[in-house]
Amino acid sequence: MSVYTRHEDRRLWVRPAHGPFPYTDGEDVESRLYEAVRKADDCGTFSNDLRNAIQDWPSEYHFSRERHCLLRPFEILPSHTILELGCGCGALTRYLGELGARVDAVEGSALRASIAAERCADLPNVSVYVDDLTQFEQDKHYDWVLLIGVLEYAPVFTQAPDPTAHYLQRAKRFLADRGSLILAIENKLGLKYFNGCSEDHMGRRYFGLQGLYGDRQPRTFGKQELHDILAAAGLPHLRFFYPFPDYKLPRVIFSDEAFSYAPFQAHDMLLQMTSRDYTHPDCNAFYEGLVWAELEHNELLPALSNSFLVRASAHPQTAEPAFLAANYSVNRVPDLVTQTLFIKTDQDLTVDKQPIASEATSTRLSSDRLSVLHQTGRTPYCPGNHILADLLRAYARDPRPESAIATLGPWFDYVWSRAIIPPSLQDAATIPLHEITIGGEYLDCTPFNLLREDEQLSFIDREWVIEHPIPFGWVLSRSLLYSFTSIPDLGPGAAALTVLPALRLLLKSYRPNVVFKDEEMHDWKEWEDEFIGLTVGTPLKYSGGAPQPLYENELVRWRLAAETYRRSLEDVHMSLSWRVTSPVRSILGWLRHIKARKGTDAATS
């Protein structure tokens, strides 16, 4: 007999004796999330309604399309049964339900469980239970049991002598004989934490690195610790994966095989990836994109991955589809969402880019000025060094625009050799930039899509083709723009790289006879906006702290940091302690003023 009662109004199964659960994003926040889901016409994984409801970190975490990418490496079939322990607001639950699998999702918070149930209301194969995962009861066993962002909270929510082992034993008891546990958790030794990011649960820098966790605080583990904990729990057969920038919003996932196959360079895929601090504004001591290369050369990259994704089982596992890495581009209109797999075969290494939500290998889109062809397929893996890496290293050595632009000669020569100049201007003393075009197949020929090996240059990832010539200035400006957004803020000592002065410097350095007017930048921005409108649908508000397109607000991260600082000051000014100590501060300020005046008078006498 079931211990759960069905609540039809919220589509939940509830244990009658279940009390309040203290884990929450805040009742106001979660009530807003519930209303967004309830009002959405589409609650699917690629819902535009929910994407448009993103306005802060909690809504991004629960509504982001990137969440589901975490589970794509696993061959989860419609015939499988799944137990998701700690389902939150149902982002992964929804994806699993869409696969056709039978899903039982457990969440301790009644409000969060209600959001998950509402999001899966049209999926009869999904059941949501309100219960503590340590108390959950069910007679059946499952092909997959999920602990995504849950294990770290074991010390908070159970009084067992070994909370982590207790959580794992509770999860393991529901596994079928050949079932697997999927675990995702932060790495306490992740590179982002060495780079100044706050520990995700405690909100303090260097907290996990120093092992400062208390007995009843959330805690994370390094790779060897996690390996030993899982093996001790009776799950010795492990396969590690490495999601980047972390497991919360993964865009790239590596398998262990990525680091044992010499021709493949995993760090290349991390060159433009800056980790996010979910507690404080960005504060970086170094460029992670460059450090990953050094770690990979020294076989340290897996151990310093920001997060771990692990498949663990009591028995040897059936092989997953073989891939070295998977890259996901999901913040687009659904027909253009892609998964790119880097696959090693007996003969070679290939790059297989395929649509996720469509069966079409090519898609055409058109607007007033643009006819865009999006093309997917399989191509050979191309080795080499990114031109962008040269830019980042040069700027790290000498943070001046001149240093960055000096590295772009090979890229500029490559695109210039393909530029279309009217015959009447080819010998002119000055050439207006607005008169120059380039074939639309070079739209994405940017420094991060151009590889150099010896003296050979290779243009990779030719995903986008504009089916007519396009302004050369647009290609130059967008290439600079999206290259510069790869550079993190290292503080006020570094000069800001912005498009307009950089473009002037680029042309002065390599083609001084090409001229343009500042207002032409607005026209290129309109081209980019039109392209983003076609391919993304609704312009993204923020992606990793930066809006797209970024022509008008390249320093948004600095402005967000300043705004956060301003608000923190306002909070202090409104506090009781600030008001109570106001007279004392006034007197001290008056005394400092008198002292300063005396010093000035003495200096001038």
pLDDT at residue 567, as a whole number: 39
List, for residues 78-93, the tens digit of each pLDDT value: 999 999 999 999 999 9
Average pLDDT over residues 330-344: 94
Among 259-268, 322-331, 460-469, 489-498, the minimum mean pLDDT is found in 489-498
At 553, the pLDDT band (50, 70, 90 cuts) reads: very low
Q: Are 131 and 157 a contacting pair, CB within 8 Å?
A: no
pLDDT at 562: 35
**How far is it, in rounded angstroms, from Cα 155 to Cα 165?**
10
Asked whether the predicted pLDDT for residue 541 surpasses 70, the reply is no
Tell the burial category of 90 from Cβ atoms under 10 Å away from its Cβ (0-12, 13-18, 19+).
buried
Specify the pLDDT at position 262: 85
Q: Which is nearest to 304 in space by CA: 149, 152, 186, 187?
A: 187
Least confident residue range of 8-22, 87-101, 207-221: 8-22
How long a stretch of residues is the chain? Answer: 605
pLDDT at 587: 52
Mean pLDDT (whole number) for 16-41: 88
Q: Which of 416, 551, 410 is nearest to 478 (CA)?
A: 551
Q: Is a pLDDT exceeding 80 seen at residue 144?
A: yes
The pLDDT score that the predictor gives to residue 79 is: 97
Closest residue by Cα to residue 407 from 416, 417, 419, 398:
398
**pLDDT score, position 294:** 97
- Note the helical H segments in 276-385: 288-297
- 309-339 b/e (C-beta count within 10 Å ≥ 16 → b): bbbbbbeeeeeeeebbbbbbbbbbbbbbbbb
Over range 14-26, report the average pLDDT. Answer: 80
CA 139, CA 152: separation in Å to the nearest integer?
Answer: 26
Q: Which residue has the higher pLDDT, 320 or 435?
A: 435
Over the chain, what is the mean pLDDT?
87
Structure token digits, residue 168? 């794992």
What pLDDT does residue 495 have? Answer: 57
> How much is the average pLDDT of 432-449?
97
CA distance 415 to 417: 5
pLDDT of residue 572: 35
Rounded average pLDDT over 257-267: 92
What is residue 194's predicted lDDT score, i.e. its pLDDT?
96
Is 90 exceeded by the pLDDT of residue 474?
yes
**How far is the C-alpha of 349 from the C-alpha of 188, rounded, in Å?**
33
Residues 63 and 53: beta-carbon distance below 8 Å? yes
pLDDT at res. 420: 97
User: Residue 143 and residue 401: Cα distance in Å, rounded?
Assistant: 55
Taking only Cα atoms into account, the Rg of the chain, rounded to an integer number of angstroms, comes to: 27
pLDDT band per the 50, 70, 90 thresholds, residue 549: very low
pLDDT above 50 (res 556): no
The reported pTM is 0.87
Neighbouring residues of 413: CB distance < 8 A, sequence distance ≥ 6: 510
Instruction: Give the domain ranges of the chain.
Output: 5-317, 378-560, 561-604
Residues with Cβ within 8 Å of 365's Cβ and at least 6 positions away in sequence, in order, are 371, 372, 374, 534, 535
Mean pLDDT value across residues 55-70: 95
Per-residue pLDDT at 282: 64
For residues 590-605, average pLDDT = 48
Of 221, 216, 217, which is closest to residue 231 (Cα–Cα)?
221
Peptide linkage before 124 cis (omega within 30 of 0) = no
Residue 590 confidence (pLDDT) above 60 = no
Place domain 5-317 in its CATH homologous superfamily. Answer: Vaccinia Virus protein VP39 (3.40.50.150)
Of 37-41, 445-449, 594-598, where does mean pLDDT reach its minimum?
594-598
The pLDDT of residue 27: 87
pLDDT value of position 566: 36
**Distance in Å from the first CA to the final CA of the chain:** 95
Q: What is the mean pLDDT of the segment spanning 289-314? A: 97
Q: 376-413 burial by CB neighbour count: b if 16+ within 10 A, else e? A: beeeebeebebbbbbbbbbbbeebebebbbbbbeebbe
Q: What is the mean pLDDT of residues 379-385?
A: 91
Give pLDDT, residue 545: 38
pLDDT at residue 87, rounded to an integer: 97
Q: What pLDDT was estimated at residue 283? A: 66
The answer to whether the Cα torsion of 43, 47, 49, 51 is positive or negative is positive
Q: Does the pLDDT value for residue 344 go beyond 80? A: yes
Tokens 């090519």 correspond to what residue? 362
Residue 28 has pLDDT above 60, yes or no: yes
Taking residues 346-355, what's their average pLDDT? 91
- Over 70: is that where the pLDDT of 102 sits? yes
Give the C-alpha separation, 447 to 340, whole Å.
20
pLDDT at 365: 93
Confidence of residue 10 (pLDDT cuts 50, 70, 90): confident
Indicate the pLDDT class of residue 496, thresholds 50, 70 and 90.
low
**pLDDT given for residue 19 in this prediction:** 73
pLDDT score for 493 = 54
Q: Give the DSSP letter string of 73-87.
A: TS---TT-EEEEES-
**What's the burial of 561, exposed, middle or buried (CB within 10 Å: 0-12/13-18/19+)?**
middle
